[in-house]
Amino acid sequence: MTAKAERAPFSAASEEDGMTRSLSGTDLQAERLSEGPNPVAITPPSRLYERALTLVAMGFLGEATTVLRDISVRVPGHAPVWKKLAELLRFAGKDREANGAMSQAADGSTLWPAASDSRTPAEIVAAERALLERVGALKTPPERLKELRDYLRGHEIDAPAMRVLGRFEQESGNLITARALFERALVLAPDYDNARADLALLLLAMGENKRAVAESGLLISRAPANIEYRALHANALCAVGDFDPAISMIEQVVRAKSTNARARRVYARSLYIAGRREDSAREYRACLALEPGMAEAYGGLADLRGDYLTANDIAGMRERLRDSDLDLKSRRTIQYALGHALERARDFSGSFAAYEGGVALSQTVAANRDRTYSPAKHADELARRRAVFSRPLLARGAPAEKPPQTPIFVVSMPRAGSTLVEQILASHSLVEGTMELPVLANMVRDLSLRRLISKPDAYPECITELNAFELADLGTHYLEECKAYRRTNRPYFIDKGTSNWLDAGLIRLVLPHAKIVDVRREPMAACFAMYKQQLEIDVQFPYGFRELAHFYTQYAGMMAYYETVMAGHIHFLSYERLVEDTESEIRRLLKYCGLPFEESCLRFWETGRAVATPSGEQVRQPIYRGAVEQWRNFEPWLGPLREALEEAGTVATAGSQPPG
């Protein structure tokens, strides 16, 4: 996800249509600029301050800084102005000036009350409708965004306008800006439930799941009978691993709305994560009965990884795909589900064709969302990490005080065996299994925003600015955030976030006692497993053979680099060796982690825990040795993949096994 530091300047003029709200109990006219350099009327500082806050929410940080500087000269005693100015100065890399602004804030006070949008809920709904009609007449998304941004410059406390703009920003992929706009709307109108629901959904999409639980909980406290809010809260609870209360809540929703296919789909997904396969399949069947051809139901049945999709389903999916009105997202889901069903039926030619169609659709969706994988950009990101995370830097990490919890980072490509390794480790009495935690990725995102004005993507170079104690604070923050996903006080816990491999260097710096396990799968098997899996399009992920080959090669090269500069701190684990010599590899793994051997790790499938990844069903049964060679069923169609791997310089094996 890319954060935008500063938008292109737009005209500050906005239409005066009588929708300006009151500030501090006084009606204020929006200023009108003359043709010359001097304004006809001077805007009160209180209103300028609200304008600056709205400019910040819209992402116009430079413009907001100029406004705040003007206010600080006119009214130097208003502390909130200095605090916000200090925040923006830090984004600009002007730390000394920011410190001075904070000193001014400490000497000041609050000279006027905060503004609010005091309209009634009915008035806010009417304002939303009017704005949507106004921007709906415009043809393109950029035109709509510009119209709303210009409008908010002159209507700086219009909460519904912020919500509408926030939704358009989210659709355009500007998630940071969308979050800021929803938050600003709620500051101005705390009872604005629609904006809070939007914020909770966005927080889930951004992996800020703890906050999503809190925001959706507020919605339920205000409207306990609202079915949509209960379903939203259940989703948020699932996201932090609270599956029992989530399932209980969604069951209440299903009982109240038994004919609501969407609610039953959420219920089916929750049951799947909890390992209740038959119950999950039953609910997905109920979804199809209520909404024939429902793409998510077919996809859910495919994820169960059994013979849950029948010949009738195959015919139904093919018929659904012939519908020219089928939306792109549903078409993509059905393509992958069809590929899985045909693979189970051993129609490998038809299966590959279906997967190929799914990949083509994934590439289209990614392009539409500006998420197309760029080999050059990805290589540059890794080169920047190599330049920063050098052996000397890694030697001066956080103070070596062992914390009471030790995270075990299981890193790998998607579909490479990390869920199996997680399940083995989680079967140990001293280890808690969690889920794919978003904590490290969120930390990296926040570090990237550290100099938002002067350098929109400050990570990883900003790490060199931090001293040992600041690095230790990051480690403490990581452990604190992980508590939301933990349910025991076991001394070890697992984090298998799919992008964590990128930042093994950061892990070593801020969590020097953490363990890092690199799970590697044979290149052909690894790349084809990713090829045929429908993944969320929230990052720039490769889909085609050539891009997957590049991605795998870059991964292997980056992990080899980290092993060089962090010798002895990363444990390499070959998936194929784990399958062939399970006990020896498990013993090696436990020894690296500092854990005594336990027989329960050999019988990992008996460990009852929720698993939310596509491999969830596979780890609930003994190791299936045939899985290693499954890709060979498709070998007649994988010549281009092999050629791409050879061109990328990837050897035919996953790498040599280090001594145990």
CATH number of the domain to which 543 belongs: 3.40.50.300
How much is the pTM? 0.86
Examine the domain organization and report whether 638 and 496 are in the same domain: yes
Rounded distance, CA 198 to CA 183, Å?
Answer: 10
Return the pLDDT at 18: 29
What's the number of domains the chain is made of?
2
Q: How far from 268 is each of 271, 355, 407, 599, CA to CA, in Å?
A: 5, 24, 31, 33
Examine the domain organization and report whether 491 and 622 are in the same domain: yes
- pLDDT tens track for 11-61: 222 333 323 333 333 222 233 222 334 443 478 999 999 999 999 999 999
Examine the domain organization and report whether 321 and 459 are in the same domain: no
Encoded tokens for 37: 């350099």
Examine the domain organization and report whether 379 and 485 are in the same domain: yes
Q: How far from 299 is each of 314, 448, 628, CA to CA, in Å?
A: 12, 35, 24
Q: How far from 529 is each of 392, 535, 619, CA to CA, in Å?
A: 37, 11, 16
Rounded distance, CA 324 to CA 327, Å?
Answer: 8
- Give residues with Cβ within 8 angstroms of 294, minimum separation 6: 261, 265, 287, 288
- Give residues with Cβ within 8 angstroms of 626, minimum separation 6: none
**82 in a structural domain:** no
Examine the domain organization and report whether 343 and 380 are in the same domain: no
Examine the domain organization and report whether 413 and 480 are in the same domain: yes
Examine the domain organization and report whether 489 and 636 are in the same domain: yes
Residue that terminates a domain, selected from 327, 345, 368: 368
Encoded tokens for 111: 């000279």
Residue that terminates a domain, selected from 368, 385, 419: 368
Residue 387 pLDDT more than 90? yes
Confidence of residue 263 (pLDDT cuts 50, 70, 90): confident
Tell me which residue of 332, 326, 338, 334 sits closest to 367, measured CA to CA. Answer: 332
Examine the domain organization and report whether 299 and 427 are in the same domain: no
**Other Cβ atoms closer than 10 A to 56:** 21
Residue 651 pLDDT more than 50? no
The answer to whether 116 and 157 are in contact (CB under 8 A) is yes
Q: Tokens 């092993």 appear where?
A: 563
Rounded distance, CA 26 to CA 168, Å?
Answer: 31
Rounded distance, CA 55 to CA 16, Å?
Answer: 18
Bond from prior residue into 37 cis (ω within 30 degrees of 0) = no
- pLDDT tens track for 295-345: 999 999 999 988 899 999 999 999 999 999 999 999 999 999 999 999 999
Return the pLDDT at 537: 72
Examine the domain organization and report whether 337 and 430 are in the same domain: no
**615 in a structural domain:** yes
Question: CATH number, domain at 281?
Answer: 1.25.40.10
Confidence of residue 535 (pLDDT cuts 50, 70, 90): confident
Return the pLDDT at 5: 38
Examine the domain organization and report whether 320 and 262 are in the same domain: yes
Examine the domain organization and report whether 282 and 315 are in the same domain: yes
Return the pLDDT at 42: 79
Confidence of residue 626 (pLDDT cuts 50, 70, 90): low
3 state SS for 115-168 = CCCCCCHHHHHHHHHHHHHHHHCCCCHHHHHHHHHHHHHHCCCCHHHHHHHHHH
The answer to whether 23 and 115 are in contact (CB under 8 A) is yes
Average pLDDT over residues 141-164: 95
Residue 219 pLDDT more than 90? yes
Amino acid letter, residue 88: L
The answer to whether 149 and 51 are in contact (CB under 8 A) is no
Mean pLDDT of the chain: 88
Q: How far from 311 is each of 280, 315, 341, 437, CA to CA, in Å?
A: 20, 6, 8, 37
**30 in a structural domain:** no
Amino acid letter, residue 355: Y
Domain membership of residue 423 as a residue range: 375-648
Q: How far from 263 is each of 142, 249, 256, 616, CA to CA, in Å?
A: 34, 11, 10, 22
- pLDDT tens track for 570-614: 999 999 999 999 999 999 999 999 999 999 999 888 776 454 455
Residue that terminates a domain, selected from 368, 396, 416: 368
- Please classify residue 517 by burial: count the beta carbons closer than 10 Å to its beta carbon, then call 0-12 exposed, 13-18 middle and 19+ buried: buried
The answer to whether 548 and 530 are in contact (CB under 8 A) is yes
Examine the domain organization and report whether 362 and 379 are in the same domain: no
Rounded distance, CA 446 to CA 443, Å?
Answer: 5
Average pLDDT over residues 277-301: 96
Encoded tokens for 402: 């062992």
Q: What angle do CA 634, 345, 286 make, to 5 degrees?
A: 125
